[in-house]
Amino acid sequence: MEKIKKILSFLWYFIILFLFMFLILVFIVESLPKEQANSSFASFMIFGISLILIYISYKIAHDKVYGSSITASKKDYNTKVNKDDIKNFECVKNAINMMVDKCKETKEEEIINNINKCVSSAKQPDKVIKKALYDYIQESLNDGLLDENEECIIASISKNYNIDLKDNSDLYNAKILYSIIVKHEIPNIELRGNVPVILGNNEVILYLKENVSLIKEVTRTKYVGGTDGFSIRIAKGLYYRKGAFKGERVKVSSKEVVDNGMFIISSKNLFFIGESEKKKIPIKSIITSEPFENGITIQKNGNAKPLTFYGIDSWFAHNLIINLPKI
């Protein structure tokens, strides 16, 4: 029944589109002089244009009803699966889902063999596997965590089919949060590059972001209601000047960007390394964490003023700050 509905929808779109374009063609022909319209060359051109209109109508109607291709769900994943490989794609997805909750118990060869069977008849097997893997990654990250079984499946497929996932920060972050929130342990990770901070024993870097703005609440004093004074003429060439006064002193607070630098969260501390500002804040001394889009505001214990950091993954940073003290 569903197939019949799609066929009828396709025919409806095709006929409407073709008639619309054909009417435009008739209008153009009617506007031509009779001598040109009746020439053999004009007839040949009309026939050629009609064929083109039929193809365009078919293509638009087909894509409207059936879709031209399946695209990856994440913007960065531009992998597309050809419409001829859709069945192979669904087969690979089913093969992956069969491994859920038992990846470590199943031999890696079994997973790969099942996938190879699915793509044996595919025109573009590499794209089919990539698309299925990317979709699985997105589904796994719906809760923001990556458990050991999900990690096992992703690692097995990416390793055997040479799919590079090193630049996928979502996977990295989800793996860290799973270790901290669920397993209650610091993940064993290695951060690349030079880190300009001295770490303590068993302290590891969990998050690093450059070009982050440090925003502070700055208090300045100004005077309200003051005057520079004024002069009163008493006689010719003689003036009396009434003295100036500053007025009432008022303190005004505002939030300002005071520095830009590197923002780091380790397993024990939060660091900010800027040109003029250098900060090291123990995670356990942070009493509030308020995330917002691309930023976070923290409050230390005591009478310290709030600090705001802008230009970071606020969701990930907030989860690190509130969950690390629980380990």
In this structure, is residue 41 part of a structural domain? Answer: yes
Pair 29, 115 in one domain: no
What is the model's pLDDT at position 232?
Answer: 53
What is the model's pLDDT at position 183?
Answer: 87
CA distance 201 to 242: 69
Query: Mind giving me the DSSP string for 265-303?
Result: EESSEEEEEESS-EEEEEGGGEEEEEEETTEEEEEESSS
CA distance 93 to 72: 13
Rounded to 10 deg, the angle between the 169-181 and 314-323 helix axes is: 20
What is the model's pLDDT at position 103?
Answer: 72
Pair 41, 100 in one domain: no
In this structure, is residue 228 part of a structural domain? Answer: no
Who has greater pLDDT, 237 or 178?
178
Helix or strand holding residue 241 (H, E): strand 238-242
Mean pLDDT score across all residues of the chain: 79
Who has greater pLDDT, 68 or 210?
210
Confidence of residue 223 (pLDDT cuts 50, 70, 90): low
Domain total of the chain? 3
Domain that holds residue 291: 205-220+252-326
Side-chain half-sphere CA neighbours of 20 within 13 A: 8
What is the model's pLDDT at position 175?
Answer: 86
Who has greater pLDDT, 299 or 102?
299
DSSP annotation of 245: B
Among all chains, which residue has been given the structure tokens 């003689």?
238
Q: What is the pLDDT of residues 179-194, one digit of tens each?
A: 998 889 998 876 666 7
The CA-atom distances, in angstroms, between 297 and each of 211, 255, 306, 321 are 17, 12, 7, 11
The full 3-state SS of 183-229, as one line of letters, equals: CCCCCCCCCCCCCCCCCCCCCCEEEEEEEEEEEEEEEEEEEECCECC
In this structure, is residue 226 part of a structural domain? Answer: no
Q: Helix (H, G, I), strand (E, B), or coil: what is residue 50? A: helix
- Residue where a domain stops, chosen among 65, 87, 115: 65
Confidence of residue 1 (pLDDT cuts 50, 70, 90): very low
Q: What is the pLDDT of residues 225-274, one digit of tens each?
A: 555 555 555 555 565 555 555 556 666 667 889 999 999 999 999 999 99
Pair 209, 302 in one domain: yes
Pair 209, 320 in one domain: yes
Q: Helix (H, G, I), strand (E, B), or coil: what is residue 257? A: strand
Pair 286, 319 in one domain: yes
Q: Helix (H, G, I), strand (E, B), or coil: what is residue 67? A: coil
Q: What is the pLDDT of residues 289-305, one digit of tens each?
A: 999 989 999 999 887 88
In this structure, is residue 266 part of a structural domain? Answer: yes
145: alpha, beta or left, given left = phi > 0 and alpha = psi -120 to 50? beta
Closest CA to 180 of 146, 156, 139, 153: 146
Pair 28, 84 in one domain: no
What is the model's pLDDT at position 22?
Answer: 73
What is the model's pLDDT at position 262?
Answer: 96
255: alpha, beta or left, given left = phi > 0 and alpha = psi -120 to 50? beta
In this structure, is residue 234 part of a structural domain? Answer: no
In this structure, is residue 308 part of a structural domain? Answer: yes
Confidence of residue 321 (pLDDT cuts 50, 70, 90): very high
Pair 124, 177 in one domain: yes
* pTM value > 0.85: no
Q: Helix (H, G, I), strand (E, B), or coil: what is residue 260? A: strand
Confidence of residue 37 (pLDDT cuts 50, 70, 90): low
Q: Helix (H, G, I), strand (E, B), or coil: what is residue 315? A: helix
Pair 21, 96 in one domain: no
Structure tokens at 77: 């994943």
What is the model's pLDDT at position 67?
Answer: 47
Q: Which among 95-109, 153-167, 235-249, 268-282 has the top mean pLDDT?
A: 268-282
* 162 CB-near residues (< 8 Å, 6+ apart): none
Pair 119, 10 in one domain: no
Q: Which among 10-24, 39-53, 205-219 has the top mean pLDDT?
A: 205-219
Residue 26 has pLDDT above 70, yes or no: yes
- Residue where a domain stops, chosen among 35, 65, 95: 65
**Identity of residue 16:** I
What is the model's pLDDT at position 62?
Answer: 65
In this structure, is residue 124 part of a structural domain? Answer: yes
What is the model's pLDDT at position 319?
Answer: 93
Q: Indicate the range of 30-39, 94-103, 115-124, 281-290 predicted with least confidence.
A: 30-39
Residue 97 has pLDDT above 60, yes or no: yes
Pair 305, 216 in one domain: yes
In this structure, is residue 225 part of a structural domain? Answer: no
What is the model's pLDDT at position 3?
Answer: 54
The CA-atom distances, in angstroms, between 32 and each of 22, 40, 51 are 16, 14, 20
Residue 72 has pLDDT above 50, yes or no: no
Confidence of residue 69 (pLDDT cuts 50, 70, 90): very low
Pair 137, 97 in one domain: yes
For residues 209 and 294, the answer to whether their CB atoms sit within 8 Å is no
The CA-atom distances, in angstroms, between 138 and each of 10, 74, 153, 232, 280 are 32, 7, 13, 79, 35
Q: Indicate the range of 17-21, 242-246, 322-326 predicted with least confidence.
A: 242-246
Pair 80, 128 in one domain: yes
Among all chains, which residue has been given the structure tokens 């889902």?
97
Among all chains, which residue has been given the structure tokens 């008739």?
26
